[in-house]
Amino acid sequence: MNHVITGMFISDYIDALQAKGVFCFSGVEASDALGSGVISTRAALRRLRHKGEVAMPYRGFYVIVPPEYRKTGCLPANQFIPFLMEHLKEPYYAGMLTAAEHYGAAHQRPQAFQVLLQHARPDISCGDVRIDFIIRKNAALMPVQDFKTPRGYVKVSTPEVTAFDLTGYPHHAGGLDNTATVLSELAEYLDGGKLAEIAALSPIAWSQRLGYLLDLIGEAGLADGLAEYVAGRKPVPTPLSPSQPYSGVRMVARWRLMPNEKVEPEI
| Pair 27, 156 in one domain | no
- Domain total of the chain: 2
What backbone phi and psi angles, to 5 degrees, belong to 93?
-160, 150
Q: What is the DSSP string of 159-211?
A: HHHHHHHHHH-GGGTTHHHHHHHHHHHHGGG--HHHHHHHGGGS-HHHHHHHH
For the stretch 59-116, pLDDT in tens is: 999 999 999 999 999 999 999 999 999 999 999 999 999 999 999 997 778 899 999 9
Do 223 and 215 touch, CB atoms closer than 8 A? yes
| Pair 22, 103 in one domain | no
Q: What is the DSSP string of 118-151?
A: SS----EEETTEEEEEEE-TTGGGS-EEEEEETT
Do 178 and 111 touch, CB atoms closer than 8 A? no
| Pair 32, 140 in one domain | no
| Pair 159, 223 in one domain | yes
The rounded percent of the chain whose pLDDT value lies above 70 is 97
108 in a structural domain: yes
111 in a structural domain: yes
266 in a structural domain: no
Contacts of 249 (CB under 8 A, 6+ apart): 239, 258, 259, 260
What backbone phi and psi angles, to 5 degrees, belong to 39?
-65, -45
User: Could you tell me the sign of the dihedral formed by the alpha carbons of 180, 182, 188, 191, in that order?
Assistant: negative
| Pair 106, 208 in one domain | yes
CA distance 241 to 267: 21
CA 186, distance to chain mean position in Å, is 16
| Pair 52, 141 in one domain | no
Q: Sheet containing 152-157: which strands, arranged edge to edge?
A: 124-126, 129-135, 113-117, 92-94, 152-157, 144-149
Q: What is the mean pLDDT of the chain?
A: 95
**Looking at residue 7, what is its pLDDT?**
43
**Looking at residue 267, what is its pLDDT?**
78
Nearest to 240 by CA among 220, 254, 257: 257
Mean pLDDT of 11-31: 95
For the stretch 136-179, pLDDT in tens is: 999 999 999 999 999 999 999 999 999 999 999 999 999 999 99
**Looking at residue 8, what is its pLDDT?**
65
Range of the domain at 31: 10-69
| Pair 62, 88 in one domain | no
| Pair 31, 92 in one domain | no
| Pair 44, 101 in one domain | no
CA distance 154 to 119: 19
| Pair 57, 106 in one domain | no
**Looking at residue 4, what is its pLDDT?**
44
| Pair 229, 161 in one domain | yes
CA distance 29 to 52: 20
